[in-house]
Structure 1
Amino acid sequence: MPEPTASGGRTDPTAPTPARHELRIAVVSDAELERNGVGAYYADLAAHLGEHVAELAIISPGGDNAYGSLSMPMPGDSTQTLWMPNVMAVRRRLRALKPHAVILPTPGPWGLLGARLGSGVGAALIVGFHTHFEQLTHLYWNPRLGLIPRTYMRWVSRYLFKRGRMVLANSHAMAEVARGLGAPQVDLMGTPIPRAFVDTPPPPLPEHIEKVLFAGRLAPEKNVEAVVEAAAAHPHIAFTIAGDGPLRASLEARAAELPNLSLVGWVPRAELPALIDRHHLLILPSHVESLGTIALEALARGRNVLVSTHCGITEWPMLDRALFRIGDGETVAQALGRALDVDATLRHRKATLGAEGAREMNAWAIEGWLKVLEDHVGPPAAG
């Protein structure tokens, strides 16, 4: 198996550069499609880019498991599965596709395999940097135990960054982390939104906020306990928590004590627009959140959105103007109280700005990816 070069793959310099509509793209990812933020991102991206390029294939676990082999529960979260890639199946797919570019969104075994095999078929390597895994280790392990996963994540990130022709990050903060890990070329990537969120007009907001939603992984970094505390502080508001994760059992126990709080489990992506539409405000109080895709999707549906300052979505001006923020030293319950007191006219104006900003982000993301692919891919190797 050839070693990837620092330039992100071997190319035939005598072959012409492919036009946009001729591009063949592969995404090799450890994330199951639509099971988490990264999986959802590339499912959405594929749906949009597929209209502009010759072919885009996602090679990842899940689905009919055409590319997976061994599996085991995810360490620290038995609600997710860790799959090892089937090397021969992935190699056959890449050789058949002959991609001009291979996108690598994750620093796991699938990402590493994609880097090696992508180089072997002459593809340019584009690295997507979505999650600051080193930062997450501080929430899951003590400093000593966390040293091993932090060292691994740092090594793999540097390995991929060195070999990628471009590293794309979803916020300025993540871009700085990538540069600190040695990425030679870094740029920002926007976040695409599924057509189901943007093609149909959202229902209007009512005069008063009566229903609040949290949707995401039920894990320490999401600060979901703060949503439960907000439900206790605002008994006249109906709260819904949607998702699955290691904290589910403890949250279910808390919800049993609060008549205004419902846990509905994991919700398929196709049902998310309707779930968001049934609520008036979405809360995302995360301790660590490189962007916050669910917040972007709620904006697209014309909902009010309350986020922590740790969410990367606040770095995008066209989106930040529509957000309510949890202030420094302020609890989620207190911040929600402020949002409840805001004049309905201003809340409706923020909802309109949010929907406009989400559509602007979507268009910018699609065109941005196409430009990166055009600018950085080379023709596939001869033969």
Structure 2
Amino acid sequence: MLRSSQAESELAAEDMATARNLRVAIISDAAPERNGVGAYYRDLADHLRARGAHVALVAPRYRAGRWHGGLRLPLPGDPTQRILIPSWSLVEKRLKRLRPNVIVVPTPGPYGLLGMHLAGRLGIHLVVGFHTHFEALTNLFQDWGVRAHIANAYLRGCHRLLFSRSQVVLANSIEMVEVARSIGAKRVSLMATPIPKRFLDRALSPTRPRIERILFAGRLAPEKNLAAVVEAARRLPDLEFIVAGDGPLREWLEQETRDLPNLTLVGWVKRTQILRLIDSVDALVLPSRVESFGTIALEAMARARPVLVSEACGILSWDILSGGIFTIRADENLADALLRLRQLDAASLQNKTEMAREAAGIINQRNLRHWLALLAGDHASTVDGQQ
């Protein structure tokens, strides 16, 4: 049941009072423009600042085709990404200006480990975000051979160290909560995903009576199961498929587009342009083999677009969200699921997308309050009513 407007106003006032006392440093290896984790913390920082919190987002930056923020090293398996070694002194200077009372670390790389060390050195709370089961991703890179085992051991060791030093670990699905516990996290809480304010505030664009334009947006990597998108484009020539993103499979996908006139690769899309891209299509698909949550799916729900995801997507573990999502069943492929979706009448589609948009707004508000409580020291806080 939705709260009354008076109750919502009172809660908003409580949020503002809590936020004004917060000084939060988010120290992340994920550049805000380059992946879902980077986007998550930029959106979270914006929401926290809007409530009055003081927030510093310390992370690499990717601008005009160049990386900034430290010594650049290649990321094995993905030539489009980099690992950056941060300047210790520069990070310390930013923290001295902020004087944080909590540090948030969402990644197990050099930035994240420095954030962990500084939290211990300053004697302040450390909150760890567990968004990606990197160890599972390395298992998809069979051609790495022994390097995959080394990467797996390194990432598991880093996560174990981060979890042991943290006051609380936040995971974005029930499955990820269990993975975190198996690695050694003692106190784990479920977190949802923030949505940029404009996705909920901007008027919805009209939809066509039939599903004709399909969008996939994300990293072009093995875990995303892009072969399913290519197969669907080949089987359904009357549908237009748009792929947005960059990653190690870009060259392969470019080859596939040459033979499929209904498959278009638009490359990397800036975060500020994602809303317009979602509004231009009739449905979003996410056929991933490994997907801890699926932020782009939640954003499409906020824009009242039908969302079709695989059973591997963590977003389905949220009861309030799963009711607004179409699922690719275990006994069908993406093309079959799209055919099933196209057979639905307009009223059924509209009902589903309206449910999805409302759920996205509700979870966005609950997630922000959850974060505010955790950052203020309430480590027993949960996202109200999600499971």
TM (normalized to structure 1)?
0.91
Q: How is 1:362-381 mapped onto 2 (pairs within 5 angstroms)?
A: 362-376=364-378
Q: How is 1:59-138 mapped onto 2 (pairs within 5 angstroms)?
A: 59-62=58-61, 68-138=69-139
Match of 2:253 among 241, 251, 254: 251
1:42 is matched with: 41
- Report the alpha carbon displacement of residue 203 of structure 1 after superposing the two structures with TM: 1.6
Match of 1:239 among 238, 241, 255: 241
**Secondary structure at the residue paired with 1:48?**
helix
Contact 2:27 2:104 in 1 (8 A): yes
Deviates more, 1:167-176 or 1:202-211: 202-211
Q: Which amino acid aligns with 1:56?
A: V
The yes-or-no answer on 1:218 pairing with 2:220 is yes
Q: Which amino acid aligns with 1:110?
A: Y
- Report the alpha carbon displacement of residue 250 of structure 1 after superposing the two structures with TM: 0.9
Q: Show CA shifts across 1:141-180 (max 9, x none).
A: 4564322111111111111111110101011100011111
Contact 2:83 2:109 in 1 (8 A): no
Contact 1:304 1:323 in 2 (8 A): yes
Superposed CA RMSD in Å reads: 1.7
**Secondary structure at the residue paired with 1:375?**
coil
Q: How is 1:16-35 mapped onto 2 (pairs within 5 angstroms)?
A: 19-35=18-34
* Inter-partner Cα distance in structure 2 for 1:204 and 1:20: 37
The yes-or-no answer on 1:169 pairing with 2:171 is yes
* Inter-partner Cα distance in structure 2 for 1:269 and 1:367: 24
**Secondary structure at the residue paired with 1:357?**
helix
- Report the alpha carbon displacement of residue 51 of structure 1 after superposing the two structures with TM: 2.1
Q: How is 1:334-353 mapped onto 2 (pairs within 5 angstroms)?
A: 334-353=336-355
Q: Would the alpha carbon gap of residues 244 and 63 (structure 1) be closer, same or farther in structure 2, given more than 3 Å must change?
A: closer
Q: Which amino acid aligns with 1:254?
A: E
* Inter-partner Cα distance in structure 2 for 1:228 and 1:20: 46
Deviates more, 1:118-127 or 1:166-175: 118-127
Q: Would the alpha carbon gap of residues 259 and 114 (structure 1) be closer, same or farther in structure 2, given more than 3 Å must change?
A: same
TM (normalized to structure 2)?
0.90
The gaps in structure 1 that reach 5 residues or longer are: 1-17, 378-383
* Inter-partner Cα distance in structure 2 for 1:320 and 1:204: 23
1:160 is matched with: 162
Q: Would the alpha carbon gap of residues 93 and 134 (structure 1) be closer, same or farther in structure 2, given more than 3 Å must change?
A: same
Q: Which amino acid aligns with 1:116?
A: H
Contact 2:24 2:101 in 1 (8 A): yes
- Report the alpha carbon displacement of residue 181 of structure 1 after superposing the two structures with TM: 1.0
Q: Show CA shifts across 1:4-29 (max 9, x none).
A: xxxxxxxxxxxxxx953121000000
* Inter-partner Cα distance in structure 1 for 2:211 and 2:69: 45
Q: Show CA shifts across 1:202-222 (max 9, x none).
A: 123222101100001000000
Contact 1:66 1:89 in 2 (8 A): no
Query: Alignment length, in residue pairs?
Result: 360
1:51 is matched with: 50
